[in-house]
Amino acid sequence: MTQLKIAIQKSGRLMEGSLRLLAECGLKIQNGKNQLKSQAIDFPAELLFLRDDDIPEYVQDGVADIGIVGDNVRLEKGKNNEMVLPLGFSKCRLSLAVSRDSDIKKPEDLNGKRIATSYPVILEKYLEEKNISAEIHEISGSVEIAPGIGLAQAIFDIVSTGSTLLSNGLVELATVAKSEAVLIKNKNLSAEKSLLLESLLFRIKSVHSASNNKYILLNAPNSAVDTISELLPGMESPTVLPLKKEGWSSIHSVVNESDFWTIIDQLKEAGARGILVVPIEKMIL
Ligand code: PRT
Ligand code: ZN
């Protein structure tokens, strides 16, 4: 039987989000993740647990068919894979940073300086684009200590909350790129595997739509139903049910999370009462 081989990080900042997404898509794992691979239940897939840096290469070589990595790793490793979909978790940015008291105040001041990083490829591209001539010093970890020990005048590293920079006396000079977990695929998937991927993508998109939308229920006088229906168009149109109370209706619809706060005042003004907003688990479009 054809199986989709999915590479995910064995342990680290991508692991939890990757496993959660797959579980929400119905891919439960048969045996623990303390092994190299594991069989999925209810979906023809096998999970491979790897170091994130190795995932682009395994996908390119066809050892895995698809994989979940940070976009920073995808860009840095530059393998011949295809980006399928951003996944919305493990968000971070790649930034240049310098000591708080440094003379370097803008990227152009980096000319002739040395920058420590674990992402030389992405940095080199940025420096070229900006026409900055700086020396790139590649190190594999603890990049943030480089300015303090005199190894470099600046760093280029991943920033999330900014607390690592702060506790090392560093400030951000510029954000070069944003990153999040992404799904990558081998460029030469067989027709059968492409079908399996389509089916997985359909599930992922349903999970994403669900988390971006909420189910909303409210009561309103019948005279307000038209106005409220325009504010809450939903997937097709809202459901309107009569209440036992004479002249009143209950309106049910779906609302985008980001629109919710902007329309809530308009709903109340139109006469909506007893507004309930509940999460949606899956949304099939
Ligand atoms: O063992 P393996 O090689 O698989 O894992 P790893 O140690 O190389 O990677 P890991 O698990 O640390 O990160 C995996 C991916 O998570 C990265 O490639 C990014 O895409 C993403 N990610 C999200 C982060 C962060 N947030 C993050 N904060 N990766 C690293 N950090 C580090 C950063 O390097 C810095 O040291 O956290 C520090 C900064 O964090 P703040 O919150 O103090 O700003
Ligand atoms: Zn790594």
Q: Which CATH number covers residue 121? A: 3.40.190.10
Query: Are residues 130 and 140 located together in one domain of the fold?
Result: yes
Tell me: do 106 and 171 sit in the same domain: yes
Given a cut of 70, whether residue 32 has pLDDT beyond it is: no
pLDDT in tens, 181-219: 999 999 999 999 999 999 999 999 999 999 999 999 999
pLDDT of residue 31: 67
Q: Is residue 151 part of a domain?
A: yes
Which residues, in sequence order, are CB contacts of 93 under 8 Å at separation 6+?
158, 159, 160, 175, 176, 177, 178, 179
Summarised one tens digit per residue, pLDDT across range 41-55 is 889 999 999 999 999
Helices (H), the chain: 15-24, 55-60, 71-77, 120-129, 163-167, 191-212, 225-231, 257-270
Q: Distance, CA 70 to ligand 2 centroid (Å)?
A: 10
Choose the final residue of a domain: 155, 189, 223.
189
Indicate the number of domains in the chain.
3
Whether 33 has a pLDDT exceeding 80, the answer reads: no
Distance CA(80)–CA(202), nearest Å, equals 24
pLDDT tens for 135-182 read 999 999 999 999 999 999 999 999 999 999 999 999 999 999 999 999
- Token match 């900006």: residue? 130
Ligand 2 center from residue 12 Cα (angstroms)? 8
pLDDT band at 262 (very low <50, low <70, confident <90, very high): confident
Same domain for 18 and 77: yes
> Same domain for 71 and 13?
yes
Place of tokens 């390119």: 60
Tens-digit pLDDT profile for residues 12-31 = 999 999 999 999 999 988 76
Q: Domain for residue 36, yes or no?
A: yes
Q: Domain check: are 171 and 185 in the same one? A: no
Tell me what pLDDT residue 144 has: 98
Q: Which residues line ligand 1 (CB under 6 A)?
A: 9, 12-14, 51-53, 70, 72-73, 90, 92, 157-164, 179
**Mutation choice for ligand 1 from 158, 167, 179, 180, CB with most ligand atoms inside 8 A:** 158
Same domain for 77 and 112? no
List the CATH number of the domain containing 262: 3.30.70.120
Residue 246 lies in a domain: yes
Ligand 1 centroid to residue 81 C-alpha, Å: 22
Q: What are the residues facing 41 on neighbouring strands?
A: 28
Domain extent at residue 265: 213-279
